[in-house]
A and B are shown apart, each in its own frame.
Chain A
Amino acid sequence: MTARRPWWKTILGLVLTALMLFPVYWMLNVSLTRTGDLRSSPPQLFPTEPTLEGYAAVFDQQLPALGTSLVIALGCVLLTVVIAAPAGYAIALLNLRGGRTLNFVLLVAQMLPAVVMAMGFYAVYVRLGLLNTVWGLILADSTIAVPFAVLLFTAFMSGLPRELLQAAAIDGANVWRVFVSIVLPMSRNSILTVSLFAFLWAWSDFIFASTLSRNADFIPITLSIYSFIGNNTTQWNAIMATAVVASIPAAVLLVIAQRYVAAGVTAGAVKD
């Protein structure tokens, strides 16, 4: 009985997954279709004569944009962890006075629409000359991840065994030593989770890129795809090839770190 019952569920699960992932498959399919076949009716369900012309266009035109996105996303990861990890430590383990208020502020911060933030950043950046710079985008994009990161670090670090920290304190380690040699190494999983999300969010940001960086020499990949759609509506195979390439980080990270993804969504959800 136990062997038989799950089988139809597995099949149903496969069907549902296939349905859910159909747009992803379709993207892949279109990216390999020849330009002449794009408008055939009905559309080809799979590339009968696959072509790499779309991908050739990607490597011709999109490499700088991919590089820009990589730099921005990595910068965001670094900035987010550096700001959020000590704060999580202070709230979770150092009994920071006003920690509750800080948590409330972080909750509210997550409610602010990116459009409003973008306008504020625009107004500030015009004066500071940060428009169209990689630095400006790193700073702006990090605001998507920082509140989430602090809440996640706080949640994780308050679960660390206090005895260990106390033992270290008795051995004469000061708070900084405890943070660097005990708390950070033990929080490795939450650092990975935070990094994963900060990377993906910065990588896929469109609003800040389209408002703060539209005339930059080096634009991130999302903006590049967007301008591609505007200029070349006929070349859907190239657009979809770019989209496939832009999705690679997500795919890779999902395979390597799927457990952290689930953990991160969950921790981010139970936040008040």
Chain B
Amino acid sequence: MSTPPTDAPVHPAAPAGREHTTVLPGGGSGGPGRPGGPDRPAAGQGPSTRAAAARARRRLSRSQLAAAGFAAPLVIYLIAFYAYPLMRSIDLSIHDYTVRAFVQGDAEFVGFSNYVDVITSSLFAQAMWNTAVFVLVSLLFQYTIGLALAVFFRSGFRLSAILRALFLVPWLLPLIVSGSAWAWMLNSDNGIVNSFLSIFGIGQVNWLTSPDTAMIGVLIANIWLGIPFNLVILYSGLQNIPEELYEAASLDGAGPWRQFVSITFPLLRPVSAITLLLGLVYTLKVVDIIWIMTSGGPANSTTTLAIWSYRQAFGTGQPDMSPAAAVGNLLIVIALICGFIYLRVQRRQEES
């Protein structure tokens, strides 16, 4: 179970992934290479041209019909299970839903007042700040540690393949499992972390019960969770950097650090960008891990936008769906803005 089983099969997917980058942007443009495509018969003889073109069109439309048939379940699915629930959540946010109105469906239309309430709420600034801290600090550490590990594992030592596989474990565990494991490890009285720190004379830290440290507590757990993902993607990015570059650089006398700065990091930039974007989008919407560890407390010190939304809707006995939906929809807007900024930056880089 050492090198071959792990290394070899990663590659079949890597070309597929690379293919993907080139295929997607050109998505619907596959026409030319297809058999009996419209271009060939219509090449230029007089009378037969029109008939051939008609035949080709018929054939094309039939194949389009087949394509549509294969995609139809997905389209129906997307409408029923994404668009419709999303519409309902927008609907929730512009009405005043009470529990009774939920069942009877006679909620009062209130326009944007839920949004105004949310933004002017005293919790809004804190939730925004917590979200920003949670996302940025998580990304910074996950990425840095993931990259360092990817570079380390790339050098390929004995057992490296199996150790790299073991690094995936935290990422595959259910969040409830890792969340409760961390909650117990960070427990103030009986946690292993505190008893380890006490060796160095550090007194009891109330990781999850003090507003000053709760954010650090959930960050530690979340960074730990994100490392495997960063490691895998960055590692596969490293595999695509040609070995000759490093050989040439070391002939020129460049040391490991110089090679990292001049070759690895710049060539890894596109992969890094994708990793960070995915991490950002994922971290923005994290609920489970924070909810399991602190429920957003103490004193709202770990309440992010996602947690705030979740708590209002489902976290108390008194569901308050309408403001919760407003917070959730704001979160979507933030995620979309980040996505579009990424696309803009990416396009500008491609142009230059």
Chain A contacts to B: CB under 8 angstroms: 6-7, 9-10, 12-14, 16-17, 20-21, 23-24, 26-27, 30, 38-43, 82-84, 86-87, 89-92, 94-100, 102-103, 105-124, 126-127, 139-140, 142-143, 146, 150-151, 154-156, 158-159, 162, 166, 169-170, 174-176, 179, 189-190, 193, 200, 203-204, 206-207, 210-211, 214, 221-222, 225-226, 229, 236, 239-240, 243, 246-247, 250-251, 253-254, 258-267, 269-272
Contact = CB atoms under 8 A, between A and B. Distances in A.
Given A117-B82, A269-B278, 15 more contacts: A20-B170, A95-B34, A119-B92, A122-B314, A140-B81, A154-B24, A155-B23, A200-B172, A222-B174, A243-B177, A250-B172, A258-B6, A262-B165, A265-B233, A266-B233
Contact of B28 (A12, A96, A240): A96
B214 to A, nearest CB: 17
Contact of A246 (B156, B176, B183): B176
Interface stretch (B40-48, B71-79, B136-144): B71-79
Contacts, number: 373
B17 interface: yes
Nearest to B177: A243
A175 B285 contact: no
A110 B281 CA distance: 9
Contact of B190 (A43, A97, A176, A206): A43
A12 B12 CA distance: 30
B173 A204 contact: yes
B316 interface: no
A128 B236 CA distance: 45
Given A24-B181, A266-B17, A266-B233, A254 B169 contact: yes
Contact of A254 (B10, B165, B229): B165
A221 B5 CA distance: 32
Contact of A262 (B10, B19, B195): B10
A262 B74 contact: no
Nearest to B90: A120
A110 B279 CA distance: 12
Contact of A97 (B64, B180, B185): B64
A133 to B, nearest CB: 15
B317 to A, nearest CB: 11
21 contacts: A9-B157, A23-B170, A38-B190, A95-B28, A102-B74, A111-B336, A113-B287, A115-B313, A116-B89, A117-B89, A119-B325, A120-B86, A127-B105, A176-B66, A211-B314, A229-B183, A253-B172, A259-B9, A265-B229, A265-B233, A267-B17
B281 A121 contact: no
Interface stretch (B112-120, B251-259, B327-335): B327-335
A100 B321 contact: no
Given A115-B310, A123-B88, A155-B19, A254 B180 contact: no
A116 B82 CA distance: 10
B119 to A, nearest CB: 17
Q: Is the interface of A mostly helix, strand, loop or mixed?
A: helix
Contacts of A42: 195, 198
A61 to B, nearest CB: 16
Interface residues of B, number: 119
Given A86-B71, A116-B325, A117-B86, A261 B172 contact: yes
**Residue from A39, A159, A270 whose CB has the most chain B CB atoms within 10 Å:** A270
Interface of B: 5-6, 8-10, 12-21, 23-25, 27-28, 30-31, 33-35, 63-64, 66-71, 73-75, 77-78, 81-82, 84-89, 91-92, 102-103, 105, 149, 152-153, 155-160, 163, 165-170, 172-178, 180-185, 189-192, 195, 198, 224, 227, 229, 232-233, 236, 271, 274-275, 278, 281, 284-285, 287-288, 291-292, 306, 309-310, 313-314, 321, 324-325, 328-329, 331-332, 335-336, 339, 343
Given A107-B339, A263-B13, A116 B27 contact: no
Contacts of A267: 13, 16-17, 20
Nearest to B199: A42
A20 B27 contact: no
B14 A266 contact: yes
Contacts of B19: 155, 158-159
A266 B13 contact: yes
A147 to B, nearest CB: 8
Nearest to A257: B9
A266 B239 CA distance: 12
**Residue from A108, A116, A225 whose CB has the most chain B CB atoms within 10 Å:** A116
Nearest to A109: B82
B14 to A, nearest CB: 6
Nearest to A142: B81
B44 to A, nearest CB: 24
Contact of B321 (A123, A140, A206): A123
A116 B177 contact: no
Contacts of A112: 82, 86, 285, 332, 335
B70 A94 contact: yes
Given A23-B182, A110-B281, A113-B285, A210 B314 contact: yes
B155 A113 contact: no
B204 to A, nearest CB: 11
